[in-house]
Amino acid sequence: MFLRKSLPRLFACLFLLVPALGSGILAQSTVNKAVGSASAVQDDPDFARAVKEWTTKPEFISPLVDHLPKVSGIPSPKDILGHHIGEPKKLTYYADILKYYRALAAATPRVKVVTIGKSNEGRDLVVVFVGGDESIRNLEAYRGYLAQLADPRTVTDAQANDVIGKAKPIYHLSGGLHSGEVGPSEMLMELAYRLATEDSALIKQIRDTVIVSITPVADPDGRDRNVDWYYKYGINETEGRTTGAGVPYWGKYVFHDDNRDINYSQVEMRALLDWYLQWHPPIMHDLHQAQTLLYTFSGQAPQNPNLDPILYGELPAMANFEMSQMTKYGMPGVWTHGFVDMWSPGYLAFMSSNHNGMVRMYEIQGFSGANTQKMRLGNPNGTGANGVGGAAPAGGGRGAGAPADAAAAVAGRGSQATRDWFRPLPATGEFDWSIRNNTNYGETGVLTALQYTSQFPKIILENFYVKSRNSVATGRKETVAGYVIPAGQRDMTRVERLINLLRLQGIEVGRAAAEVKLSEGTFPAGSFIVKRDQPYSRLAKTLLEKQVYPDANLRTYDDTSWTMGLMSHAEVKEIADKKILDLTVEPIKTAEIHLAGTLTGSGPTIAVAHNGSNNMITLRYRLKDLAIQAAEKEFKQGDVTFPAGSFVIAGDAARVRTEVEKLGLTAVALPSAPQVPLHALDLPRLAIYSIWGNTQEIGWVRYGLDRFEVPYDLIFKERVKKGDLRGSYDLILLPNQGGSGKRLVFDIENRGQPIAYKKSDQFKNLGIYGESDDITGGMGLDGVVEFEKFVKGGGVLVTLGTASYFPAEFGLAPKVDAARTSAQFYAPGPIVNAEILKPEHPIFYGYDKKMVPVRYANGPLLSVQTGVNPFADGPPPPGPPPTPQSVLMRYPGGDDQVLSGLMRGAAEIRNRAAIVDEPSGKGRVIMFAGNPCYRWQNFGEFNMLFNTVLNFNDIKTEAPKPATTDTPAR
């Protein structure tokens, strides 16, 4: 007790004694100025009493957070919210969180709130700055200093040294990216108040030397929905009696994948990126909760080799400091190293490392609500087999989707109660865990990180500068000097998107003023040039190169590959010739480029070339009232080739021109219709089916269709069970979901009580995107029968990824078998070759190569029975088995077909079907083993799905055509 009570004073002394270690080759330290005199601010006894009561064991708190100042005129969280942070069974809605920060900002010059955008559902996105009076008054000046350090081409080393002398690091903290991880967004309010009001030596030092910026809730829509769900269901849950169901939606489209949104598709993520590129915080620290009791990220292997080696020293340095400080406070269960790796650049806070800063991350023990719950951990000397890790109750933590499995595999979940070199003081035994414990751990950790930063502010800034400077230098030092993205590619719309995604992340791209001759080839004028002598050259390489996974025995937390050219089916040429750095280019100054389409020629009929652009479907829907046909064979007009699938449009040339130009397509007006077979491009009545228990992958497909302006109904078991699907729909799409046919059919297990997802006056955020009186139980066998009637009656059922188990396992496609890979097989998102076997099939309109790169999605291993009786006596016929007619595309398999990333056991997929088109009754089932609409990423594959939609009733096989063939466009 004596030690704990005297700690704050001890630390105050330490700060006086510790010399300024922050000076380096460039910097002059100002650390010592920070240490102030004894506190004149009174603490709030009510806070200390409450927090002591809510903290379930004395070792679950630190001297940094067991007190809180009470300052007249400055509202504490309790003054606005009515309770202290960490009160059991209390969660705060986003509007109240904003209300608190705005009240705080109104009361003190040390806090400022800036609005950076709107969420999907219209909530304000904000960043809260906290710092000394002077820092906040001069924020613009501090922003300017960081901008100079972020682009070393603007300064000499001597000038940078001056800038570092004046600058302060911005340390960015973010909570609530994952809506079920509720604690950090509560904690950050208390942190902001403490930083603004407390007068201890530590807080004064932080306030004077560091500017703290805060994203209070990264996904505010999901926050409110999860808080509603907690108050409706979670608050009544007790151990052993849970509803077994989480809230069906967080954000509008995704759950955990807002932390895998590598192309910043979601508006909330994009707003933060835009803010980042203006403010350049050298550290971005994302606060999650899924591990016991606090895991601090240190960038373990596999590590992205493009990032500056300095970063790989910085990360464990800070993590180890936190671990040792918190261990000194007696807080068990603080650890590092053994969880998340440093491979994928797609995590949200990774935007910092991608731009020469530092990504940091915690996983703090917590639940999706604010109930106090029992935890049992293994014995410290055992194998850890009894440990339950950071297991959160249903609906919380990382509940949704495959990443949970990957996480468990990486973490070795059972081991968290075991002592190791990276976990010196594990938590063990049985104890209660409260949301205040979560606050104590999170806030102590963050204050410790800020302590480190305030001890070494100049080192942090100097490293930021040197990493940026090194990044510029890589272009001349390293083998890869740049990239050329040639002009004149078949489909420039996907090139345009690729360029815009690079620009979105601040990567400089120029256009070659003249033809470019390099050792790698000659490229036409107008080609896009990415030079590697720029501040974000490392990021450019990371995004554009082929990913070579360093060690097939290492597991990773997310995808192993993301190569943009392969994902987009666009040509990107890696260049070693250093001449690229001296090319004259016209820099793209705008945030986005737009490559306008063209309509040439004259005549009453307009042909639009289908070169694989995803914008073709947008054109069709924008002109939905016009009769549009697809050419079934290639034709030429002048020097323009119109591949099969090209549109033939009669009438309204002015409107067609406008849209063709906007959508970047190539069109020619013809004197008469081409002499090739044509079919009408009717628009299907389209539905997307979703289970209730796993809506994220469906969300990505919804997002893709929304962006390309394809309307659809989102339907659930409620609609299926009503029957007559055929009366309402022509095509039903089942995105990747459930993981198995059984899970797709039976979904969330019913535990005795119906679980409704419905809006009410009290719970306004529920019942959005769909509603149900009971989300449990799935569509059941009655639903399977309705899907069978739909197909037999002429409907088209399209299944993606793991949803393709459903028709195989439930007899909708009886000739198709769906198997699983072995336990040794491991393929976290590699890009592999797929071979098109039926190039004339409308699904492949716009593709001109037999072999195409696709993202491997760990769907079923599909095979189609060939009619050979496997039980017949005698040897099989000689030669390879015939490929069934219904297999449209297959995976050649084998290591040499892996184009980027890791596939361990690549022979297991050899010659397995990638797409199957099985006629059934009057309809058909089209099964994709892969996922042609994965996140906002594999744009080269989207078109296969879009072609399926546009040609749903024009697929010619031995089966009868669906009944609605060639009806007028709807």
What's the min distance (Å) between Cβ of 262 and Zn ion? 16
Stretch that binds Zn ion, among 172-180, 266-274, 523-531, 593-601 (CB under 5 A): 172-180
Residue among 276 and 339 whose Cβ is closer to Zn ion: 339
480-509: which residues touch Zn ion (CB under 5 A)? Answer: none
Select 286 or 659, whichever has its Cβ closest to Zn ion.
286
- Alpha carbon 536 to chain centroid distance? 20
Q: Give the count of residues interacting with Zn ion (CB under 5 A).
A: 3
Q: How many other C-beta atoms lie within 10 A of the C-beta of residue 824? A: 8
Report, in Å, the least distance between residue 398 CB and Zn ion.
6
CB of 247 to Zn ion, least distance (A): 15
27 or 173: CB nearest Zn ion: 173
- Taking residues 231 to 270 in sequence order and writing x for each that binds Zn ion by CB under 5 A, - otherwise, the string is ----------------------------------------
Q: State the DSSP code for 32.
A: G
The number of residues in the chain equals 970
The answer to whether residue 288 forms part of the interface with Zn ion (CB under 5 A) is yes
Of the candidate spans 113-121, 280-288, 346-354, 371-379, the one that interacts with Zn ion by CB under 5 A turns out to be 280-288
Of 764-783, binders to Zn ion (CB under 5 A) are none
CB contact at 8 A, 399 and 249: no
* Nearer of residues 363 and 809 to Zn ion, judged by Cβ: 363
Q: Interacting stretch for Zn ion, rule CB under 5 A, among 112-120, 181-189, 710-718, 944-952?
A: 181-189
Structure tokens at 317: 């340095």
428 or 437: CB nearest Zn ion: 437
HSE-up (13 A, CA, CB side) for residue 797: 31
Among the residue ranges 178-186, 453-461, 746-754, 882-890, the one whose residues contact Zn ion (CB under 5 A): 178-186
Tokens of 308: 């500056």
Comparing C-alpha atoms, which of 338, 391, 402 is closest to residue 367? 391
Give the number of C-alpha atoms closer than 13 A to the C-alpha of residue 206, restricted to the C-beta side. 25
Sequence-separated (6 or more) residues with CB below 8 Å from residue 397: 180, 181, 289, 290, 366, 367, 368, 390, 391, 404
CA geometry: angle at 506 spanning 504 and 512, to 5°? 95
Please, which residue, 338 or 930, has the CB nearer to Zn ion? 338
Nearer to Zn ion, 151 or 186 (CB): 186
Shortest Å distance, C-beta 221 to Zn ion: 16
**CB atoms < 10 A from the CB of 931, how many?**
27
Question: Which 3-state string (H, E, C) describes 628-691?
Answer: EEEECCCEEECCEEECCCCEEEECCHHHHHHHHHHHCCEEEEECCCCCCCEEECCCCCEEEECC
**Shortest Cβ 745–Zn ion spacing (Å):** 29
Q: Does 360 bind Zn ion (CB under 5 A)?
A: no
CB closer to Zn ion out of 347 and 464: 347
Write down the least CB distance from residue 363 to Zn ion, Å: 7
Site residues (CB under 5 A) for Zn ion, limited to 635-654: none
CA separation, residue 280 to residues 135, 211, 345, 352 (Å): 16, 12, 17, 8
In sequence order, the β-bridge partners of residue 731 are 686, 796
Burial 19-37, CB ≥16 within 10 A → b, else e: ebebbbebbebbbeebbbe
From 161-169, 175-183, 382-390, 752-760, give the range in contact with Zn ion by CB under 5 A: 175-183
CB atoms within 10 A of CB 155: 16
- Cα separation values, 308 from 16, 444, 452, 545, 697, Å: 33, 29, 21, 17, 34
Residue selected from 78, 90, 172, 178 as contacting Zn ion according to rule CB under 5 A:
178
Nearer residue to Zn ion within complex by CB, 178 or 924: 178
Alpha helices in 798-924 (DSSP H): 805-809
- What is the token pair recorded at 857? 């999605």
Query: 403 or 893, CB closer to Zn ion?
Result: 403
C-beta closer to Zn ion: residue 178 or 204: 178
Closest contact distance (angstroms) between CB of 8 and Zn ion is: 32
Smallest distance from the beta carbon of 408 to Zn ion, in angstroms? 14
CB of 451 to Zn ion, least distance (A): 24
Lay out the site mask for Zn ion across 28-57 (x = CB under 5 A, - = otherwise).
------------------------------
Q: At what angle do helices 94-107 and 183-197 cross, to 10 degrees?
A: 10
Residue 431 beta carbon to Zn ion: minimum distance, rounded to whole angstroms: 23
Complex with Zn ion: residue 341 or 786, whichever CB lies closer: 341
Piece in contact with Zn ion (CB under 5 A), picked from 65-73, 180-188, 190-198, 606-614: 180-188
Min dist. Cβ of residue 181 to Zn ion (A): 5
How big, in percent rounded to 5, are the helix, strand and coil portions of the chain? Answer: 35, 20, 45
In the shown chain, the binding pattern of residues 781 to 810 toward Zn ion, with x for contact by CB under 5 A and - for none, equals ------------------------------
Sign of dihedral through CA atoms 489, 491, 492, 494? negative
* 223 binds Zn ion, rule: CB under 5 A: no
To Zn ion, the closest distance from the beta carbon of 176 in angstroms equals: 9
For Zn ion, which stretch binds (CB under 5 A), given 199-207, 282-290, 524-532, 740-748? 282-290
Please give the single-letter amino acid code of residue 12: A
Minimum Å gap between C-beta 178 and Zn ion is 3
Tokens of 662: 């906007």
183 vs 664 by CB, closer to Zn ion: 183
Stretch that binds Zn ion, among 43-51, 285-293, 368-376, 725-733 (CB under 5 A): 285-293
Give, as ranges, the residues between 672 and 701 that touch Zn ion (CB under 5 A).
none
Taking the complex as a whole, the smallest distance from the CB of residue 290 to Zn ion amounts, in Å, to 6
Q: Which lies closer to Zn ion via its Cβ, residue 178 or residue 469?
A: 178
852 contacts 915 by C-beta, under 8 angstroms: no
Contact characters 908-927, Zn ion, x per CB under 5 A: --------------------
Q: Which is nearer to Zn ion, 306 or 695 (CB)?
A: 695
Residue closer to Zn ion, measured from CB, 413 or 497 = 413
For residue 954, give the amino acid letter.
Answer: D
- Is-contact 505 354, C-beta < 8 A? yes
Shortest distance in whole angstroms from residue 173 CB to Zn ion: 14
H-assigned helices in 261-397:
267-279, 309-328, 350-354
Q: Please say which residue, 176 or 801, places its beta carbon nearer to Zn ion.
A: 176
Q: What is the DSSP letter of 31?
A: G
Buried b (16+ CB within 10 A) or exposed e, 830-850: bbbbbbbbbeebbbbbbbeee
Nearer to Zn ion, 396 or 921 (CB): 396
To the nearest whole angstrom, how small is the minimum distance from the Cβ of residue 896 to Zn ion? 37
Find the radius of gyration of the CA atoms of the chain: 29
| In the complex, least distance from residue 306 CB atom to Zn ion, rounded to whole angstroms | 25
Stretch touching Zn ion by CB under 5 A, among 86-94, 173-181, 435-443, 477-485: 173-181
The least CB distance from residue 378 to Zn ion, in Å, is 24
Distance from C-alpha of 222 to C-alpha of 966, rounded to nearest angstrom: 43
Contact 679, 633 (CB under 8 A): no
H-helix or E-strand spanning residue 296: strand 294-296
**Binding stretches for Zn ion (CB under 5 A):** 178, 181, 288
